[in-house]
Amino acid sequence: MSPASLLTLGILICFSATSQCQDLNSFLKKHIVQDNDSIVCDEIIKARNIILNNNCKSKNTFIHDTDGHRVKAMCANITKSTKVASDIPFNLTDCILKSESLPPPNCAYNQKNEKGKIYITCENHYPVHFDKFLLSGFGVSWTPAILMVVIPILPSLFL
């Protein structure tokens, strides 16, 4: 295989394997905002030029963490590519592309403020890829259990 072919193959692999090719600065640009920022998805995604293959990104989550200090701390002792979960919930802004959105740079998003534990990939002591978040709070984790207890009791309250 020629050197040019190897270089082309390396570039293609790099674009298909996001976490191995994304660096800290790219992660911060795509996913970190200040703790108390009230952001508008359409505006911040346009300002930061967050697109995927010349298309609007279908979903992007922003983590509210001033300068990314708490997120970076999650990766402090990790050298090899490893997925980790946060011990604490973060305030998040979840941006989901509207079906009637225009192409970049005029992407239009629905947004929702959430709170949840984040899952990221760390490499060489830094976060390089946002994987997902799981919602925190009473409504998400306890609702099924409470319903199983309350529903059988309800009829006896009205008899």
Q: How far are the Cα atoms of 34, 85, 150 from residue 78, in angstroms, in the given order?
A: 24, 13, 45
Q: What's the pTM?
A: 0.74
Tell the burial category of 114 from Cβ atoms under 10 Å away from its Cβ (0-12, 13-18, 19+): middle
Q: Which CATH number fits the domain that encloses residue 93?
A: 3.10.130.10
Q: Domain of residue 78: give its range.
A: 23-139
Is 75 a member of any domain? yes
Q: Please give the tally of structural domains in the chain.
A: 1
Identify the pLDDT of residue 136. Answer: 84
Per-residue pLDDT of the chain in tens (159 residues, 90 and over written 9): 554 444 344 444 444 344 345 899 999 999 999 998 999 999 999 999 999 999 999 999 999 999 999 999 999 999 999 999 999 999 999 999 999 999 999 999 999 999 999 999 999 999 999 999 999 875 444 445 455 555 666 566 666
In a domain? residue 7:
no
Domain membership of residue 17 (yes or no) is no
Q: Is residue 128 part of a domain?
A: yes
Give dist(CA 152, CA 143) in Å, integer.
Answer: 15
Residue 82, in any domain of the structure: yes
Assigned domain for 8 exists: no
Residue 46 lies in a domain: yes
Q: Can you tell me the distance from the alpha carbon of 54 to that of 99, in angstroms, rounded to the nearest whole number?
A: 17
- The answer to whether residue 100 sits within a structural domain is yes
